[in-house]
Structure 1
Amino acid sequence: MAMPEITPEEQADLDKALYEALNPLATAIRSRESGLPPERMWASEPVEVTLSVLAAWKVVDAEVKRLTAHAAATAGSYGASYEQLGAVWGITRQGARKKWPEAVSRPEAPKAEPRALELFGGTARLTPLPDGGWRWTGTGADGTPGTAGDGARYATTEEAAAHAGAFLKDHALDTTDRPRP
């Protein structure tokens, strides 16, 4: 989705609506700070009046950020990705993730399941560990049992498979069904 563009008429209407919403807030802030009644807000020094308006815009800015985060979270709850949120906001996927870190729920990683490996006439079983690592046990084609060394654990299933594969290769049969030298 491309960044939306608004027409000059829509911009004028938006400006008018924002100023109409801002004026009561700026008046209330100025009245509290000066002790003057709201109808005398504009009778103060111009710098003080404009600073009250700026303070009101700061409040509006914070509210817009809160509502924006809520809109991003709502979009995320309906399946929007950080890439989509970033595209709408005109920032990268990473920028959207940083801006609204809780907007998109990450699916829980699937639970690792044991896997079988058949190579060189032997078999090995790759088993996930509770901490996320992997181990293997196997039987070579020559009948030799094998396992990952004492306390050995592998970071990935691919690493465990490589070690199991090396074991199975070492215990393969040659073409005459005899153990390899």
Structure 2
Amino acid sequence: MTQIEATEAELAALDKSLLDALTPLASALRARATGLPEDRMWEADPVEVTLSILAAWKVVDAEVERLTAGAARTAGSYGASYEQMGAAWGITRQGARKKWPDAINRSAAAGLEPSAVELFGGSAELFWAPTLGGWRWTGRGADGTHGEADGSVSFGTKETAAAYAGIFLREHAVDQG
């Protein structure tokens, strides 16, 4: 995945949105910390006021971390590798694995391993296609014909992909007698 940078306009819009979201949170935190009514809670030493804003950013930072981890788990559930997640985040594969250790369910990932089907003198490989969110197959019949799942078709289970691969292999078997 190519890293695409945000434009200046996009960053300015993001800054505005974040500051708009931060203001009520900072006000609520400041009001609870000081016990002052809302119309007076910002009347204080500037250091105290700015520390309240900093505390609100810490809450936002923790929430962004939580949402980011959720996005990494979602990407992992669709078959993204730590290498791909690291590239999207601008870090190494190892860095992504350390940052989001539970993003890829090892047992689920093991179920996504490619496998082979050999029938009617031909063979096909079944593989998970993460960009399509499903299983595909490619194979060569006993008569030498190459085939694969049509276009952008993917199957919900490995077994369904195997069934379609089996149909192809049967259609391209060499008559034995």
TM-score by length of structure 2 reads 0.59
What CA distance in whole angstroms lies between the structure 1 residues aligned with 2:79 and 2:55? 36
Q: How many angstroms apart in 2 are the aligned matches of 1:38 and 1:84?
A: 47
Counterpart residue number, 2:36: 36
Instruction: Report the alpha carbon displacement of residue 108 of structure 1 after superposing the two structures with TM.
Output: 3.8
Q: Which residue of 1 aligns with 2:128?
A: none
Aligned length: 110
Q: How does 1:28-107 map to 2 (within 5 A)?
A: 28-106=28-106, 107=109
Structure 2, gaps ≥5 residues long: 114-177
1:13-32 superposed matches below 5 A: 13-32=13-32
For the pair shown, the structure with the greater C-alpha radius of gyration is: 1
Paired AA for residue 4 in structure 1: I
Residue 95 of structure 1 aligns to which amino acid in structure 2? G
Aligned to 2:141: none
* Cα displacement (A) at 1:2: 2.4
Deviation for aligned residue 1:39: 2.1
Deviating above 4 A after TM superposition, structure 1's stretches of 4 or more consecutive aligned residues are none
Structure 1 residue 105, shift from structure 2 partner = 2.0
- Provide the C-alpha distance between the structure 2 equivalents of 1:86 and 1:3, rounded to a whole number of angstroms: 10
* Distance in 1 separating the partners of 2:60 and 2:16: 15
Is 1:11 aligned to 2:32, yes or no? no
Q: CA deviation at 1:85?
A: 0.3
Whole-Å separation in 1 of the counterparts to 2:90 and 2:56: 26
Identity of aligned residues (%): 68
Q: What's the offset of the Cα at 1:74? A: 0.2
Match of 1:3, as an amino acid? Q
* 1:117-145 alpha-carbon deviations (Å, 9 max, x no partner): xxxxxxxxxxxxxxxxxxxxxxxxxxxxx
Q: How big is the shift at 1:35?
A: 1.0
Q: Distance in 2 between matches of 1:44 and 1:20?
A: 22
* Structure 1 runs not aligned, ≥5 long: 111-181
Distance 1:31 1:6 in 2: 35
Normalised by the length of structure 1, the TM-score is 0.58
Q: Once the 2 structures are TM-superposed, how far is the Cα of residue 4 of structure 1 from its aligned partner? A: 2.5
Amino acid at match of 1:56: A
Distance 2:13 2:40 in 1: 27
* 2:41 match: secondary structure: helix
1:98 offset after TM fit, Å? 0.6
- Could you tell me which amino acid in structure 1 is paired with residue 97 of structure 2? R
Q: Spell out, residue by residue over 1:39-85, the C-alpha distance to the aligned partner (whole angstroms, 9 max, x if none).
A: 22221111111000000000000000000000000000001000000
Deviation at 1:8, TM superposition (A): 0.9
Aligned residue for 1:40, secondary structure, equals coil
Cα distance in structure 2, aligned partners of 1:39 and 1:74 = 43
96-105 vs 36-45, which deviates more? 36-45
